[in-house]
Amino acid sequence: MFFASDNSGPVHPNIMQRVMDANNGYAMPYGKDEIMDEVREGIQRTFEAPNAAVYLVATGTAANSIALACYTQPWQTIFCAQYSHIEEDECNAPEFYAGGAKLTLIPTDDKMTPDALSAAIARRPTGNVHMAQAGPVSITQVTEFGSIYSLDELRALTSVAKSAGLPVHLDGARFANAAVALDCTAAEMTWKSGVDVVSFGGTKNGCMGVEAVVFFDEAKAWEFELRRKRGAHLFSKHRYLSAQMAGYLQDDLWRDMARSANAACARLAAGLKQNGAEMLHESQANMIFARFPRRVHQKLQAAGAKYYVLDGDVASGDGDALLAARLVCDWSMTDELINQFLSHF
Amino acid sequence: MFFASDNSGPVHPNIMQRVMDANNGYAMPYGKDEIMDEVREGIQRTFEAPNAAVYLVATGTAANSIALACYTQPWQTIFCAQYSHIEEDECNAPEFYAGGAKLTLIPTDDKMTPDALSAAIARRPTGNVHMAQAGPVSITQVTEFGSIYSLDELRALTSVAKSAGLPVHLDGARFANAAVALDCTAAEMTWKSGVDVVSFGGTKNGCMGVEAVVFFDEAKAWEFELRRKRGAHLFSKHRYLSAQMAGYLQDDLWRDMARSANAACARLAAGLKQNGAEMLHESQANMIFARFPRRVHQKLQAAGAKYYVLDGDVASGDGDALLAARLVCDWSMTDELINQFLSHF
Amino acid sequence: MFFASDNSGPVHPNIMQRVMDANNGYAMPYGKDEIMDEVREGIQRTFEAPNAAVYLVATGTAANSIALACYTQPWQTIFCAQYSHIEEDECNAPEFYAGGAKLTLIPTDDKMTPDALSAAIARRPTGNVHMAQAGPVSITQVTEFGSIYSLDELRALTSVAKSAGLPVHLDGARFANAAVALDCTAAEMTWKSGVDVVSFGGTKNGCMGVEAVVFFDEAKAWEFELRRKRGAHLFSKHRYLSAQMAGYLQDDLWRDMARSANAACARLAAGLKQNGAEMLHESQANMIFARFPRRVHQKLQAAGAKYYVLDGDVASGDGDALLAARLVCDWSMTDELINQFLSHF
Amino acid sequence: MFFASDNSGPVHPNIMQRVMDANNGYAMPYGKDEIMDEVREGIQRTFEAPNAAVYLVATGTAANSIALACYTQPWQTIFCAQYSHIEEDECNAPEFYAGGAKLTLIPTDDKMTPDALSAAIARRPTGNVHMAQAGPVSITQVTEFGSIYSLDELRALTSVAKSAGLPVHLDGARFANAAVALDCTAAEMTWKSGVDVVSFGGTKNGCMGVEAVVFFDEAKAWEFELRRKRGAHLFSKHRYLSAQMAGYLQDDLWRDMARSANAACARLAAGLKQNGAEMLHESQANMIFARFPRRVHQKLQAAGAKYYVLDGDVASGDGDALLAARLVCDWSMTDELINQFLSHF
């Protein structure tokens, strides 16, 4: 019963097979492998962007930080939601890669609103040398709380950025989960909605460790290559990154896996509600934030269930005391495990 | 006939098998996986260093840059050989990770000499605020030209560093090739010779993409963890890095593969000499720098052989003109390919 | 009628005289001048800290940024009030000097509260490698809104920092104004209240361009010297910085000038209140934030008065509409100018 | 007898007078003062560059580092002479400001040669992602050894840079000494010879602490302003920087002072030669590198003379042993002091 994170599950067998298939004789290193050509075309087709520049790195933090650095000067600030991954979970990697730039947190419980974004940008007027200058806007889709921006919401945010002349980055560590939930195309969720660069996540959705960075403006290509190398993220045996992403794209496996993860999560959410748990955020993708009694928690722990407790006094003696927990499902989650989990309520 | 680099060959089947075996259910992320425990113990046993701090990253540049950063202040300079990898092939990654530190190049055609190192350190006296301050010494074993420091040579360099109070880093991207060539233990080539931290390479020697950073002073452990995370090099699905390194260590596979690579290289070198090629550096590990006529080069190219031409006029019309080439053998190089290569002389 | 900033007034004649007196023959460069010995002793006596390490730089941003960098690792975050100078007015200089560290803003309208600080620190628990680690606490005295922390308030904040093991920096760009308002000693407002390093401002209080950085822990001395040089803030003709600070300290001129500035400000505040202006913050030092009608603003502008309008629609046609303005007095402000200003109400 | 450095002499009275004159009432801060308008026009006229962007900072290291940063990406390398000031005497400030860029040292005893520069640039071919990319060329005029590039030599270097598409920076800490020695205009020594940005030094030539950074391509203006602020080098009471530079430019005082310094140096050099001292570099500006016996050194020390000993065993018992010394003259050096110095030979 492993609901701690979607970065803890196994690699999909199709992807593992592609990695094994790639292990054949010699291949050109550093992204010049033939499988990378397949990946590039696959991404360009998937995103309906025949000129997109496409690169692979092995971690989501690398994808976000290096992509953002290409759009950020060291004297600028990146606008992002208060509890975004780049603020909370990347140990100053965005600041590091952007040479000491700042992050400006848009106050919110979850999703950024256009008004709040607009107000924050307005506080950084052009031409005031004393303050950090306005830099890119970074949007996380799916958010850290499992919510999803509708295409309209996305466009409302990118409009605010565009009218201030600011570029837009999409942190898509869970891009696939959002795309299937919205039932939209990769293009609709990115450049058709005003996104300039996207971190297209694979690791959390059945890959071993691979993320694609996709620039819709190919002018940033060479800078990204240099920043990736300087960050020590250019793989010599790159074919094993390529193979993962090739398998991920093949027959839209990325959508299939996300669909499985979201469906499992929906079943778990329904079961939790039926059992009286209180949902803290509406579960739209593959994450649940729910409150349930400490006594249930104790039974789940005893049974070996893994998940994060975010709030509440675990050590309390009161079995009725409510704890807030985060539960995540990946592509491999089974009905059996979900039922086993729910049986402890 | 792929002699371009040891980063272009396949992964050893034992290592690939360990990766597949690891793909089973859920595992704790970020280096808390159980296979990492096996790796840590394996490294500590291999290096006879029960308290060593052991970490994995996926690229050699990451291993070098983050390890060095733990010993370098931004106002210091790192001493290294003139043509070392950290100077020539890492696109300012060491400077980036060390916050803008400098590299001081010790003049040499290949290996650093104690005298030259000593002279360079003497030019950075303690207490002169105007100049970059003396920082760590970084030694590459095997060198970029395929040479190997004997244990005595290594100790002579680390003595110079130690008497100036400077820490020592060993860039061991080809650590295994050196250890088998010297027929010495991992401990003898590191802490027993005065090395404080080593990049223990796996990628160039039959792994997919993994390097261990081993600190003999565990006081640097937490700083390394923070720098690795901030550099975006902490893998969530870390078990697939661990699995590679576990397979690499198992039954000393790392030594076996290096032995194969070195032996193949020795056969190739003998054949080249027999065929009149001039050796530019003595081939001690798995790299050859040799000069042979342009006419041979043309036949090899036509036959599909891959290697780097370092010097000489490839476009010349003179078939007798000599070109300098670099030839590298990895663990998988066969007698058949070597003979095929030599047949064009 | 120049109320725009205390950085726009003239240098006190005593200080100018010291600069002229220093211009005599040759002097040792880079802080080895004899006047610097006088400054060091003067600061140590003034702060009752005989072992304090004392350095001069020419700008407040340099003092803050380099002092903070000595206490901040690049993977840490600096805690400061939401609208502090280091966040709002230094164009990422603190992040630059601290190698890409973060600033965590403590929500507040003006002064930091111990509870809010405590809550922010609690969100950065030791040992979580994913997030920015807790770093120093930076307190501004006088605040950007002209308020002053009482010694009790100061100690309450430093207690929070100390119990979390965090060092404390005091941004004292207007240190003198606070010290005379609180009628306390320099020692009481710093190390006796738990401050580890202070930027002791001179520029805004009658100097030409000089700030002292005072470390009560001399262990940071050499690091500061290297960081100052690397930041290009070590003056060759240092005697002219020393001369300013020597004049500033002599016969407590720094307190006299601050007393004049505060007194002028108090007179202006009283006059504004009498004339119906609404005070936005209690004026405790030499800054006033007040709201008055647009029609008065227009008369003042016509008469050549200089000050910042922070809020309100200047372009409105409504003469009764209220504008928020910031008014600052320096040591040289005269009753005549104040009366002239008030005459337009 | 102070021959240690031209940064240790007094400020010229005309410049001091301008500083005092500036100390009158209120002035706009941060470079918006009226004297800065005079400076801007003065520089533009002096350099025959009506569109040049002109900025002031207080130290030579700031001028060099911030100017270079505007032309350097963090993954590039700056080409400079082996013993240039930016390599030897700025404690990694250029690397710091350029975000971790590298310096590539052109091997030379003193001046860079076009061939050596060309060879170094050729080793950084465009498009090789593994290595530091070619960045700007920085030339020092007067060199650290007191030599001067002729206009032809200067143009030969900038031609090499231009044909590789690289920008050129001139470190002109002793610009004035070179200009009067070459009897050329400021324009001839800069943009007419292919220089893109110059650090026009004042501090070493009779100012208190001021350097102008002059961009002949005004497109870099705003970036410089932001980098200057972020580096904490934007002065609030900027008028006192402006006043120095205004005085420096007025009636070509900068040339007069340099002429005095060079002439004093020539007299000293002639006297040294007459007395049998060996000149190590030809003295073309205001610096002498000479070798003379230890016995003379001892007499000079006893008489209180100040200068740097660069080489030779000061502690030796042998009075005939030769020591190498650096002697520098500034604008204020008198015949009396020179004669006094020579009397000890």
Q: pLDDT tens-digit profile of B235-251?
A: 999 999 999 999 999 99
CA distance C203 to C287: 16
CA distance C38 to C248: 12
pLDDT at A1 over 90: no
Cα A238 to Cα A172, A214, B209, D10, distances in angstroms: 22, 17, 9, 62
Task: Tell how strand A287-293 and strand A322-328 pair up.
Answer: antiparallel
Instruction: Please tell me which residue, D216 or B320, carries the higher pLDDT value.
Output: D216
Asked whether the bond before C160 is cis by omega within 30 degrees of 0, the reply is: no
**Contacts with B225 from chain C: Cβ below 8 Å:** 129
pLDDT band (50, 70, 90) for residue D57: very high
Q: At what angle do helices D13-22 and C13-22 cross, to 10 degrees?
A: 170
**Contacts with D76 from chain B: Cβ below 8 Å:** 92
Q: Which sign does the torsion angle of CA B171, B177, B182, B185 carry? A: positive
User: In this structure, how many other beta carbons lie within 10 angstroms of the beta carbon of residue B124?
Assistant: 18
Q: What domains appear along chain B, each with residue ranges and CATH number?
A: 13-253 (3.40.640.10), 254-342 (3.90.1150.10)
Residues 6+ apart with CB under 8 A from A105: A80, A81, A82, A84, A87, C105
Average pLDDT, chain C: 96
B-contacting residues in A 253-312 (Cβ below 8 Å)? 306
AA letter at B315: A
Q: How many C-alpha atoms does C62 have within 13 Å on its Cβ side?
A: 32
pLDDT band (50, 70, 90) for residue C313: confident
8 Å CB contact of D235 and C62? no
Q: How is residue B122 written in tokens?
A: 């003497």
Nearest 10 degrees: Cα torsion C190, C194, C199, C200: 0
pLDDT band (50, 70, 90) for residue C175: very high
**Contacts with B97 from chain C: Cβ below 8 Å:** none
Q: Does B88 touch chain D (CB under 8 A)?
A: yes
Q: pLDDT tens-digit profile of C1-46?
A: 889 999 999 999 999 999 999 999 999 999 999 999 999 999 999 9
| pLDDT value for C312 | 81
Tell the residue number behind the tokens 């074919």, with chain if given.
A239
| pLDDT value for D306 | 93
pLDDT at B342 over 80: yes
Closest residue to B232, CB basis, from A27, A61, A229: A61
| pLDDT value for C237 | 98
Closest residue to B230, CB basis, from C75, C227, C230: C75
What is the SS3 assignment for A209?
Answer: coil
Torsion-angle region of residue C92: left (phi > 0), alpha (psi -120 to 50) or beta?
left
Q: pLDDT tens-digit profile of D119-148?
A: 999 999 999 999 999 999 999 999 999 999
Asked whether the bond before D213 is cis by omega within 30 degrees of 0, the reply is: no
Min Cα–Cα distance to chain A from D249, Å: 27
8 Å CB contact of B75 and C227? yes
Nearest residue on chain C to B129, judged by CA atoms?
C226
Closest residue to A234, CB basis, from D74, D129, D226: D129
Is there a contact between A306 and B26 (Cβ–Cβ < 8 Å)? yes
Closest residue to C230, CB basis, from B75, B227, B230: B75
Is there a contact between C148 and C142 (Cβ–Cβ < 8 Å)? yes
8 Å CB contact of D226 and A129? yes
| pLDDT value for D283 | 87
| pLDDT value for B283 | 87
Which among B1, B26, B68, B171 is the top mutation candidate for probing chain A, defined by the most A β-carbons within 10 Å of its own β-carbon? B26
| pLDDT value for B315 | 79
Q: pLDDT tens-digit profile of B146-159?
A: 999 999 999 999 99
Q: pLDDT tens-digit profile of A146-195?
A: 999 999 999 999 999 999 999 999 999 999 999 999 999 999 999 999 99
User: In this structure, how many other beta carbons lie within 10 angstroms of the beta carbon of residue A279?
Assistant: 14
Is there a contact between C236 and D7 (Cβ–Cβ < 8 Å)? yes
| pLDDT value for D317 | 78
**Contacts with C29 from chain D: Cβ below 8 Å:** 5, 7-8
8 Å CB contact of D209 and C236? yes
pLDDT at D112 over 90: yes
Nearest 10 degrees: Cα torsion C179, C182, C185, C188: -110
Average of per-residue pLDDT across C138-152: 97
**Contacts with C234 from chain B: Cβ below 8 Å:** 129
pLDDT band (50, 70, 90) for residue C319: confident
8 Å CB contact of A226 and D75? yes
| pLDDT value for D148 | 97
Average of per-residue pLDDT across D314-318: 80
Which among C61, C64, C91 is the top mutation candidate for probing chain A, defined by the most A β-carbons within 10 Å of its own β-carbon? C91
Which among C230, C235, C236 is the top mutation candidate for probing chain B, defined by the most B β-carbons within 10 Å of its own β-carbon? C230
pLDDT at C316 over 80: no
Q: How is residue A39 written in tokens?
A: 């990946």
Average of per-residue pLDDT across B57-83: 98
Q: pLDDT tens-digit profile of A274-333?
A: 999 999 988 899 999 999 999 999 999 999 999 999 888 787 778 889 999 999 999 999
Average pLDDT, chain D: 96
Q: pLDDT tens-digit profile of A268-279?
A: 999 999 999 999
Q: pLDDT tens-digit profile of C240-285?
A: 999 999 999 999 999 999 999 999 999 999 999 999 999 998 889 9
CA distance A226 to A233: 10
Is there a contact between B135 and B78 (Cβ–Cβ < 8 Å)? yes
Question: pTM of the full predicted structure?
Answer: 0.97
| pLDDT value for D282 | 84
Q: pLDDT tens-digit profile of B285-330?
A: 999 999 999 999 999 999 999 999 988 878 777 888 999 999 999 9
Which residue, among A270, A330, A275, A328, has the nearest Cα to A144 in the 3D structure?
Answer: A328
AA letter at B22: A
| pLDDT value for C271 | 97
Residues 6+ apart with CB under 8 A from C29: C235, C236, C237, C238, D5, D7, D8
8 Å CB contact of C74 and B230? yes
